[in-house]
Amino acid sequence: MTYTAGSRIESSDYNTFVSDVNNLWGTGSGNKGYGQSSTVGTVAGGGQVTATQWSTLASRINSIRTHQTGSGVTLTNQSGGAGVNISSGQRIYAVGNIATQLSNANTAMTTYDSRYTSTSYTYVHQGTSSTSKYIGANPTTPTSIYVGATITWGSFNQMRYWFNAGGFIDFTFTMTNAGTSKTQSWSNLCDDMGTIRLGGLASGPQGNSGGFAVFNGYTVMNIPENGTWNRWYLKYNDTGVADYNNNYLDGYLYRAGGVLNFLVYAYDNAGDTFYGYPAGGVYLNPNYVDKADYVDYPLNYYVNPYGPSTSYGLSDSWGTPSVSMWTS
């Protein structure tokens, strides 16, 4: 900047502020941009900044910080006793903390911050999608199933705006904790893993226990758009019984434009007790597997998108993503 607090603001400095604000408020790029249409106009070199233009700029900064923090900021004109909303004909002076507030706004868009963890931020639950599938017992080879979800926005930019403005997705697995020892072991694995959250700035387990064998903390912008599945996490059963500890959940994801795809394999890798083959050596009857090695209840997979709030001045530029579930 070419000014200090208390000096008159120049059009070039004002335009620099405008560019910074519009990158956050408008289309932006990457993890910046809320997709708002009411961006701020610049002034010609050497031209005058009107009271209306100055008030609009200050209002946008205030809206950005209010959305990010839940409360506004105070921007005070440094001379003449006028506040931010100056009257026509008053002189605009440099505002002492405008650069600080813009710096804070940019930092909030690029670091692990309150959008991901805040309990005071208002989110919009955009529905629960779920699917279920049984994990079978197999006496000769490990049994695996997979469950998946495809989450689609209207465009890549709409997906960016959704996450940039604070949206996130929660993924949760459950199984009824009853029945056979193996069923209860799978239920323990689901509880140990907890809810996994994907946000625009980070991803991670919420309230899990026991840790993960693998966890790659993808964000929306660094998921490889390579057309292949990329491992997100690998979670073993660390509270199981006997060799049921070998069972695990293995998660993958990939992105294609404004579409996110999630795939989770459930591997029943335990050595089931098998009481022999019937005549002819062909496995025909499930009764030959010890009842304790059956899974009595299905694995349930839940996907919960939480969209950004419009309570603090943003308009909905992102829409509601659609969610489709699938199994195999």
| pLDDT(243) > 90 | no
Residue 37's CB: how many other CB atoms inside 10 A?
9
Q: Where are the beta strands (DSSP E) in the chain?
A: 124-125, 129-133, 143-152, 168-174, 195-199, 203-206, 214-215, 230-236, 248-256, 259-268, 299-307, 322-327
| pLDDT(97) > 90 | no
Q: What is the mean pLDDT of residues 163-186?
A: 91
| pLDDT(116) > 60 | no
Q: Are residues 147 and 50 in the same domain?
A: no
Q: What is the mean pLDDT of residues 131-140?
A: 72
Write the pLDDT tens digit of every residue in 51-75: 788 888 888 998 998 888 877 777 7
144 located within any domain: yes
Q: What is the mean pLDDT of residues 28-37?
A: 94
Distances (CA, A) of 240 to 26, 138, 273, 300: 50, 18, 16, 18
6 located within any domain: no
What pLDDT does 222 receive?
Answer: 87
Q: Are residues 255 and 210 in the same domain?
A: yes
Percent of the chain with pLDDT over 70: 78
| pLDDT(297) > 70 | yes
The residue segments making up the domain with residue 105 are: 11-111
Count structural domains, the chain: 2
4 located within any domain: no
pLDDT band at 182 (very low <50, low <70, confident <90, very high): confident
| pLDDT(10) > 80 | no
Q: Which tokens hold the place of 215?
A: 């966890």
Q: Are residues 84 and 120 in the same domain?
A: no
Distances (CA, A) of 300 to 146, 204, 235: 11, 20, 16
| pLDDT(3) > 90 | no
State how beta strands 322-327 and 143-152 pair. Answer: antiparallel
Beta-sheet strand order (sheet of 248-256):
214-215, 230-236, 248-256, 259-268, 143-152, 322-327
pTM, full prediction: 0.86
Q: What is the mean pLDDT of residues 69-88?
A: 61
Residues 172, 173, 178, 183: what is their CA dihedral angle, to the nearest 10 degrees?
Answer: -160
What pLDDT does 121 receive?
Answer: 55
Q: Are residues 106 and 137 in the same domain?
A: no
164 located within any domain: yes
Return the residue matching tokens 């695996």. 144
| pLDDT(35) > 50 | yes
What pLDDT does 112 receive?
Answer: 61
Taking every pair of C-alpha atoms in the chain, what is the biggest distance, in angstroms? 100
207 located within any domain: yes
